[in-house]
Amino acid sequence: MIYKRKRETMVAHVRKLGITDEKVLKSMDIVPRHKFVASGSEFQAYDEKALPIGYEQTISHPYTVAVMSQALSLDKGSRVLEIGTGSGYQAAVLCQMGLQVFTIERISALGKKAEAVLNELKYHFALRIGDGTMGWQTYAPFDGIIVTAGAPVSPETLLSQLKEGGKLLIPVGSKDEQMLTMYIREGASYTKIEIEKLSFVPLIGQYGWQ
């Protein structure tokens, strides 16, 4: 009951920050974010904060999750690949929006924990432990790919796993600050749209930071 009220306040806050997609707002009103944070910080789960989830990683700010989910703007049943499962919260919001979610995490312990919470909440998804900068060829092409860690450049492999008209959302920049960038596939080329400056933990891998 307390969490439900906190959730409503969080949703009202992201709405005030400019999120207008009702599917996103409704999903965030349903997903119990407090289940995805470290034990002991449940009470802060709905604050506009990134919280530690162990292994030097964080669950993204509610606004970050909202802005990324809104920018994807995919129809129900679309296939989306997430790189950087982390706590599993972003994946849960995408599942709640009715998307087919595929997610990759490089830190095994985090991936397993996220998997357990997502299973407990009865979401359907596919999760793999590994380097997400290589994408997930078995399930490609995707309608959307969302990278929830900051990259130095935009990996070509991910762009190549998009459907025609598919969107890649990726924060690109330095280790401290990145520009959330969207690439839309149009034949052999891509339209690039810069959304806004945000700050993510680093994407580490073959086509990320070393």
With CB atoms as reference, the residue minimizing the distance to ligand SAH is 86
Selected catalytic residue, list 27, 39, 41, 60:
60
State in angstroms the smallest separation of the CB of 202 from ligand SAH.
7
Orientation angle between helical segments 108-120 and 89-96, nearest 10 degrees: 40
Binding-site string for ligand SAH from residue 138 to residue 177, where x marks contact by CB under 6 A and - marks none = ----------xx----------------------------
Catalytic (active site) residue 60:
yes
State in angstroms the smallest separation of the CB of 107 from ligand SAH.
4
Q: Which of 133, 161, 178, 181 forms a contact with ligand SAH (CB under 6 A)?
A: 133
State in angstroms the smallest separation of the CB of 76 from ligand SAH.
21
Nearer to ligand SAH, 49 or 186 (CB): 49
Binding-site string for ligand SAH from residue 86 to residue 125, where x marks contact by CB under 6 A and - marks none = xx-xx-------------xxxx--x---------------
Alpha-carbon distance of 27 to 32, in angstroms, equals 10
Residues 39-58 that bind ligand SAH (CB under 6 A): 57-58
Alpha-carbon distance of 158 to 81, in angstroms, equals 10
- Residues classed as catalytic: 60
Site for ligand SAH, rule CB under 6 A: 57-60, 83-84, 86-87, 89-90, 104-107, 110, 131-133, 148-149, 201, 203-205, 208
